[in-house]
C-alpha cells in the first residue's frame, strides 16, 4: 500500500530546466539569480521592502537578531509553540528566550502575553505565524513602539500569508521566511529577510558572507563579523520558478484545508485549527485527545499508517526540551503549548493532493475516532 505523506514539494520540468541553465552558465554560487529572486520577492511582498536571501530561515533569524544588536543581557519574547530554531537563535546570539503561552486554536501568541512577560531587559519580541496563520500584528506593533522593542517576525511558515490585506513581510520590520522543501515554496534549502531598514540590510549583506565588503575598485575590507550564510544561484533559480507558482500553490492549500474542515467530524476528542482570511495553510495540525481515546499518539499514527495515511508532529512544546529546562522552564509553565505539544497531529496537506486524498484521510481519522481499529 502506498502511503500518503504529510507533505511533499511540488517540483517539475520548469525547476529542472532552471537548474540546468544555471549549471550551464558556470555561475553556481551567489550571483545574478540571487539578485533576481531578491527583487522578485520584494515585488511580491510589496510595501517598499527589500529582501536579502540566505541559506536558511535559521540563518535569517540569527542574522536579524545580530544586525539589530540583540545580544548578551537582552531578553527576547517568543511563543513556546514553534520549531526549536526560533528559540535556538536567541541563545546563539547570547540573549535569553522568554517563552509565553499560545492560543489553543491559532497556536499564536497575543499582545497580552507579551506585555505580561516584559521586563527591563526585554529588547525584542519574535512572533511566529504558526502554520501560515498570521499573528494579530497591530497591537504588537503598537506595544513595541511604546516600549522601544524590536519586532522580528518568524514567518518561516507564512510566505504568501496576508494580514489586513497586506502580505506578511510588508510592514518594514525584519521578517524571516523559509524555503525548505516542506514550505509553501522551496529553494531546496534557503531563507530570506524582508525589511525596509537599509542599514540593517547592509549589515546582513556583510554578515552572510564573512563580513566582507568591497569598494568601487574591488578592494576588500572586513568591517564586521560574518559567517557563511549566502544562497547559491542554483537554489535561487528553483525559487524563481516556485515563486511564480506560489499563489496557485496557496490557493490549492486553502481549498484542501476547507475540504478538511468540511469532512472531519465534530468529535469531543478532536480540536481543529483556526481558519481566517489570509491563512496560507502551510500545515494542517489538529489536536486529538489521545488519552480520552485510550491510545497513544504513536499508536494512533501507526494505525493511520496501516490505512495509508502518513502524519507528522508539529511541534513538542519548546520549553520542555532539556536545553530549556536547564534555564528553569518546566511542566505547567505554559498549559496551552503543552497541551498542543501532547495532542498535535499534522495531517497531509500539499498542493499535489487530490480531493480524494483528503477524503481518504478524513475517513481514516473518523474511523479511529469511532474506535474502529485499522485492519
User: Would you name the residues annotated as active-site residues?
Assistant: 183
Helices (H), the chain: 13-25, 32-45, 57-67, 85-92, 111-117, 137-147, 198-207, 233-263, 290-293, 297-306, 322-325, 335-343, 355-369
Pairing label, strands 153-154, 175-178: parallel
Q: In Å, how far are 39, 152, 210 from 213, measured between CA atoms?
A: 21, 25, 9
Phi-psi region of 371 (alpha: psi -120 to 50; beta: other; left: phi over 0): left
Coil, strand or helix: which one is 263? helix
**Angle ∠(287,290,295) on CA atoms, nearest 5:** 145
Go through the chain and tell me how many residues it has. Answer: 375
Phi-psi region of 368 (alpha: psi -120 to 50; beta: other; left: phi over 0): alpha
Pairing label, strands 175-178, 191-195: antiparallel
Residue 10 DSSP class: -
Amino acid at each position: 500500500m502506498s502511503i500518503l505523506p504529510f507533505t511533499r514539494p511540488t517540483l517539475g520540468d520548469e525547476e529542472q530546466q532552471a537548474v540546468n541553465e544555471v549549471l550551464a552558465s558556470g555561475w553556481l554560487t551567489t550571483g545574478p539569480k540571487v539578485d533576481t529572486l531578491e527583487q522578485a520577492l520584494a515585488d511580491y511582498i510589496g510595501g517598499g521592502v527589500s529582501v536579502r536571501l540566505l541559506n536558511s530561515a535559521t540563518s535569517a533569524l540569527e542574522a536579524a537578531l545580530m544586525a539589530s544588536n540583540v545580544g548578551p543581557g537582552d531578553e527576547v519574547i517568543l511563543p513556546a509553540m514553534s520549531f526549536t530554531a526560533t528559540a535556538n537563535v536567541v541563545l546563539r546570539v547570547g540573549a535569553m528566550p522568554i517563552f509565553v503561552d499560545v492560543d489553543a486554536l491559532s497556536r499564536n501568541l497575543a499582545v497580552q502575553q507579551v506585555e505580561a512577560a516584559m521586563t527591563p531587559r526585554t529588547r525584542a519580541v519574535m512572533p511566529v505565524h504558526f502554520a501560515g496563520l498570521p499573528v494579530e500584528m497591530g497591537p504588537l506593533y503598537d506595544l513595541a513602539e511604546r516600549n522601544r522593542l524590536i519586532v522580528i517576525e518568524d514567518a518561516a511558515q507564512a510566505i504568501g500569508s496576508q494580514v489586513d490585506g497586506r502580505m506578511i513581510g510588508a510592514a518594514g520590520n525584519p521578517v524571516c521566511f523559509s524555503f525548505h522543501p516542506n514550505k509553501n515554496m522551496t529553494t531546496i534549502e534557503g531563507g530570506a529577510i524582508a525589511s525596509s531598514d537599509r542599514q540593517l540590510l547592509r549589515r546582513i549583506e556583510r554578515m552572510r558572507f564573512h563580513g566582507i565588503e568591497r569598494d568601487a575598485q574591488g578592494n576588500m575590507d572586513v568591517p564586521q563579523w560574518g559567517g557563511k550564510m549566502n544562497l547559491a544561484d542554483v537554489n535561487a533559480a528553483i525559487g524563481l520558478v516556485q515563486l511564480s507558482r506560489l499563489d496557485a500553490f496557496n490557493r490549492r492549500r486553502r481549498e484542501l484545508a476547507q475540504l478538511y474542515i468540511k469532512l472531519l467530524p465534530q468529535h469531543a476528542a478532536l480540536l481543529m485549527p483556526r481558519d481566517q482570511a489570509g491563512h496560507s495553510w502551510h500545515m494542517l495540525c489538529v489536536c486529538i485527545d489521545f488519552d480520552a481515546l485510550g491510545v497513544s499518539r504513536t499508536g494512533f499514527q501507526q494505525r493511520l499508517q496501516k490505512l495509508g495515511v502518513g502524519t507528522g508532529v508539529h511541534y513538542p512544546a519548546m520549553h520542555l526540551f532539556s536545553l530549556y529546562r536547564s534555564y528553569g522552564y518546566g511542566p505547567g509553565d505554559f498549559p496551552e503549548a503543552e497541551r498542543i505539544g501532547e495532542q498535535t497531529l499534522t495531517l497531509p496537506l500539499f498542493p499535489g493532493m487530490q480531493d480524494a486524498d483528503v477524503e481518504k484521510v478524513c475517513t481514516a481519522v473518523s474511523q479511529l475516532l469511532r474506535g474502529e481499529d485499522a485492519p
